Amino acid sequence: MRRVTKLAAAVTATAALAVTATACGESSTESGGKKNKGVGLAFDVGGRDDHSFNEAAAAGTDKAEKKLGVKTKEMTAGNNETEATREQRLTSLAKAGYNPVIGVGFNYGKSINKIAKDFPDTTFGVVDSGSAAKNVSGMTFAEHEASYLVGVAAAKKTKSKKVSFIGGVDNALIQKFEAGYVKGVKDTDPKIKVETDYLYKESDKGFNDPARAKDMAKGMLSRGNDVIYSAAGQSGAGSIEEVSKVKGSWAIGVDSDQYRQKGLEKYRDAILTSAVKNVDVAVYELIKSVKDGKPLTGNQTFSLKEQGVSVSTSGGFIDDIQSDLDKVSKDITAGKIKVPSKP
Amino acid sequence: MSRFRSKFDGYKLLLALAAPALALIAAFLLSSLVIAATGKDPLHAFAVMIDFGSKSDSQVWIINKAIPYYLSAAAVAIGFRMNLFNIGVDGQYRVAAFFAAVVGGALSLPGILQIPVIIIVAMAVGAIWAGIAGVLKTTRGVSEVITTIMLNSIAGSLIGYFLSEDRLAVKDGNLFHTPNIPAAGHFFTIPTDPKPIYGTVLIAVVIGLAYWFVLGRTRFGFDLRAVGRSESAASASGVSVKRMVVTSMLLSGAVAGLVGMPTLLNESYNYGTDFPAGVGFTGIAIALLGRNHPIGMALAALLWGFLERTGIQLEFEEYAQEVVGVMQGVIVLSVVIAYEIVRRYGLRMQQRKVGEELSARARTDANDDTAEVSA
C-alpha cells in the first residue's frame, strides 16, 4: 500500500504543478510583434522543391519577392501530421506578424479557417480548399479540366493504345485529376485502355514517395502502357524518371510545368506536357491584394476560362496537336464539353 | 551479510540513476553535434526549445499531444512485457477509431451513453483486429510481427474502401469524413488558459494505473511477465502460454483502440482522410524510451510532445526541420544503449562481488579447517 500512496502523491503533485504552471505561465501568443514581416507560406508535404505542387506556390512568392519587394517565411509540413501541428505552424506565422499567411494544400483547409478567427487582422489564404472565415481566401482549381486536355493529348500520342494514371493518394482532390483524364482519353478514342492506380489509399506519403511511384510506373510500362500521367506531387518525379528510361513512352507532368523544373532536367525529353495549375498566379494575386490594402477573401475558383489551369507546351512535343487541344479547350470553356470531377 | 546487501542496494540505486543520466548526456551531446553540423548554434536551439516549450499554451499543447502517445505506448508495452511485438497498434487504433466514429456519427444518445458506446466500440474493434494476429500465432504459429504489420496495411485499405461518399463517409471540400458525432458525444475538456486540456487525459491516467496494477499486482500480470521471461518455465508452472498470447493481444488491441479517442472525442469529432496516422509507431519508440514503466512512458510521451512542439519553433528560427526527428531517434538509441551498458556493468559488478564473497568465505573456511587440524 505504501507504494500506492507514494504513487498517488507523486501523480497529484505533478498534476498540481502542471496546472499551476499553466495558469501562471506566459502564453507564447502574448509575446509577438505586430509589424508586417511579409508573407508566411506553409507548404504541404514534399516541401518547396517538389518540382510540382508546392513549387508552383513557391513560384508565386518568388515573383512577389521580386516585383513587390516582400519577404517570405517558409515552413513545411511533415508526414502524418495532426491538426494541432498544422495549427501551431500557422499560428506561429500569424503571431510573428506575417501577412498574408498562406497554406498550400487542402490539408490546411480546416486549420486555416480555424486560426483565421484568432487573427482577424491577418489575411489567410488556402490553396485547394474553400473559405469559411471572413479573412480567408480559398483558392480552388479546375484540375479536371486541365486533366481532360492532357487526356486528349495522351490519346493522340499513344501508339500501344494503352495509357495510365498514377494518383498520389486516393482522395477527392486527386480523383478529379483521374476523372478528367480518363474522360479526355475516352472521348478522343473510346478503344484506348486506361489503367488507373493510386500510390496510397489514404496516407499523405503518396505525395512524397517517388520510389513507390517509380515501381508503379515500371509495372505499367511493362504492361505496355506508353503514356503515364502522374498526379502525385513530389512522387511524380519517380514515375517521370522511370518513363524516361523507356524509349517512345511519355510522361505527363502535373501542377508545375515540369519540363522547366531544374530538378527534372535529365528526364525532360520524356515529358510530353504538364497539366499546370497556376497556383503561382493565385498566390501572387493574393499577396499583391494584401500589399495594396484590398485583401482578397472568399472563395475563388481558377478554371480553364480564366487560365487558372492550363496545358504546358514546353519542349514542343504537342505542337502537332495544338490545334486539336485549342478546339477542345474552347469547347470546355463554352460548356459544350462537360468534364466530370468524379471518376 | 546484511551490511553487504545494503551496500549493494546503494550500488543498485546508483546504477538505476546512471542509465538515464548517461542517456541524457549522450543524447544532448549527439544532438548538439548534429545541429552544429548543420551550421547552427546548438545552445541557442536548446534555449529556444526551453523558452518556447515552457509557455502556457505550449504546456497545454504538449499534454494534449501526449495523450494518444501514452495510450499507444501502453498498448505496445503490454505486448513487450510478454515478448510479443505488437507492431500493429497503428492499424488497430485506426480501424477502431474509424468504426467508433461511424457508430458515434450514426447514434444520437445522451452523452452519458453515447461516449461509453463509442469507447467500447473502439476497444472492441481494436481488440478484434489485434486478436486476429493472436489467434494466427497460437493456431498456425505465424509470427505476430509479420501479421500485425500486414494488418496495418489491410487496415489502411479497409478504411480507404469505406471512407468514400457512397459508403460510410460524407464529402467536405476535398476531404472525406464520417458524419460528425453530435455535441452530446463530445468529451469534456478541462478549462485552462488560453486553450483547454482534453478531458481524455483521464483515460490515459486510468489506463496507466490499470497497467501498473494489472501487470505488477495481479496473478494475471505475473503470469504474463513469466511468459515473457521464459515460455517453457511458465508453461511448466501451469500457465497456458497460448491463452496468455491471445489474451494479451486482445488487451493490447483494446488499449490501442483508445489511441484515437482523444482526437475523435476532443478534436475532430469525425474520422476523415486527415485523421492522424502513425501514432502506433510513435508508441513503440515511447514504450522503449519509458522502459515499459507506467510513469516512464508518461514522461517519454510528454518529452515527445515537447520535442514536437518546440521543433516547429526551431523550424521557425531557421533550423532544419529534420533536427527534431534526429533528436528523437538519438534519444531512443541513447536510452536503449545506456541501459544495456549499465545493465552489463551492473552484472559484472555483481559477479565480482559474489566472487569476492565466495572466495572470502572459502578462505575463512580453509582457515577454520587448518585451525581444526592444528587443534
Mean pLDDT by 10 residues, chain B (375 residues): 56 79 90 93 94 93 96 97 94 97 93 94 98 96 95 93 88 88 93 90 97 94 92 91 94 97 95 91 94 94 95 91 90 91 89 90 79 55
The CATH number of the domain holding residue B274 is 1.10.3470
Chain A residues within an 8 Å CB radius of B60? 22
Is the domain of A168 the same as that of A75?
A: no
Q: What is the full DSSP assignment across B135-148?
A: HHHHHH---HHHHH
* Residue B360: HSE in the Cβ half-sphere, 13 Å Cα cutoff: 8
User: What's the pLDDT score for residue A29?
Assistant: 57
Distance between CA atoms of B366 and A33, rounded to whole angstroms?
83
Partner residue opposite B55 with nearest CB, options A25, A169, A172: A25
Partner residue opposite A80 with nearest CB, options B156, B276, B295: B276
- Position B349 in a domain: no
| CA terminus-to-terminus distance, chain B | 28
Chain A residues within an 8 Å CB radius of B202? none
- Position B6 in a domain: no
Which run of H or of E encompasses B315?
helix B294-316
Under 8 Å between Cβ of A299 and A127: no
| Structural domain count, chain B | 1
Across the interface, whether the CB atoms of A18 and B63 are under 8 A apart is answered: yes
Across the interface, whether the CB atoms of B56 and A25 are under 8 A apart is answered: yes
User: What's the pLDDT score for residue A58?
Assistant: 95
- Position B355 in a domain: no
Interchain CB contact of B328 with A (< 8 Å): no
Under 8 Å between Cβ of A160 and A185: no
- Position A30 in a domain: no
3-state secondary structure of B257: helix
3-state secondary structure of A300: strand
Q: What is the full DSSP assignment across B339-371?
A: HHHHHHHHHHHHHHHHHHHHHHHHHHHHHHHHH
Distance between CA atoms of A50 and A68, rounded to whole angstroms?
25
Partner residue opposite B175 with nearest CB, options A26, A82, A106: A106
Which structural domain, as residue segments, surrounds residue A93? Answer: 38-141+281-289+297-302
**Where do the H-state alpha helices sit in B163-293?**
201-217, 219-229, 231-236, 241-258, 261-263, 279-289
- Position B276 in a domain: yes
Chain B residues within an 8 Å CB radius of A129? 173-174
Partner residue opposite B174 with nearest CB, options A25, A89, A106: A106
Is the domain of A196 the same as that of A230?
A: yes
User: What's the pLDDT score for residue A16?
Assistant: 44
User: What's the pLDDT score for residue A204?
Assistant: 85
- Position A1 in a domain: no
From A184, B169, A282, select the one nearest A176 (Cα to Cα): A184
User: What's the pLDDT score for residue B286?
Assistant: 95
Which structural domain, as residue segments, surrounds residue B79? Answer: 41-319
Distance between CA atoms of A140 and A306, rounded to whole angstroms?
12
Is the domain of A162 the same as that of A124?
A: no
Is the domain of A134 the same as that of A184?
A: no
The length of chain A, given as a count of residues: 343
- Position B333 in a domain: no
**Measured between CA atoms, how close is A172 to chain B, in angstroms?**
5
- Position B58 in a domain: yes
- Position B342 in a domain: no
3-state secondary structure of A40: strand
Is the domain of A119 the same as that of A166?
A: no
Interchain CB contact of B56 with A (< 8 Å): yes
User: What's the pLDDT score for residue A28?
Assistant: 65
Q: Which of B299, B312, B317 to mutate to test the interface with A (most CBs of A within 10 A)?
A: B312
**Measured between CA atoms, how close is B54 to chain A, in angstroms?**
8
Strand partners, A253: A274
Partner residue opposite A201 with nearest CB, options B157, B205, B274: B157
Query: How many CB atoms are located within 10 Å of the residue B345 CB?
Result: 13
**Measured between CA atoms, how close is A270 to chain B, in angstroms?**
31
Residue B342 burial class via C-beta count within 10 angstroms: exposed 0-12, middle 13-18, buried 19 and up: buried
pTM for this entry:
0.86
The CATH number of the domain holding residue A242 is 3.40.50.2300
Is the domain of A148 the same as that of A136?
A: no
- Position A202 in a domain: yes
Grid cell listed for A289: 491584394
- Position A205 in a domain: yes
- Position A13 in a domain: no
User: What's the pLDDT score for residue A203?
Assistant: 82
Is the domain of A314 the same as that of A188?
A: yes
User: What's the pLDDT score for residue B173?
Assistant: 78
The length of chain B, given as a count of residues: 375
From first to last of its 343 residues, chain A has per-residue pLDDT tens of: 344 445 444 544 455 444 444 444 566 654 444 567 899 999 999 899 899 999 999 999 999 999 999 999 999 998 888 899 999 999 999 999 999 999 999 999 999 999 999 999 999 999 999 999 999 999 999 999 999 999 999 999 999 999 999 999 988 899 999 999 999 999 999 999 999 999 998 788 899 999 999 999 999 999 999 999 999 999 999 999 999 999 999 999 999 999 999 999 999 999 999 999 999 999 999 999 999 999 999 999 999 998 899 999 999 999 999 999 999 999 999 999 999 988 8
Distance between CA atoms of B241 and B231, rounded to whole angstroms?
7
Is the domain of A42 the same as that of A105?
A: yes
| Structural domain count, chain A | 2
- Locate the chain B residue with the closest alpha carbon to A299: B173
- Position A6 in a domain: no
Under 8 Å between Cβ of B271 and B163: yes
Is the domain of A177 the same as that of A315?
A: yes
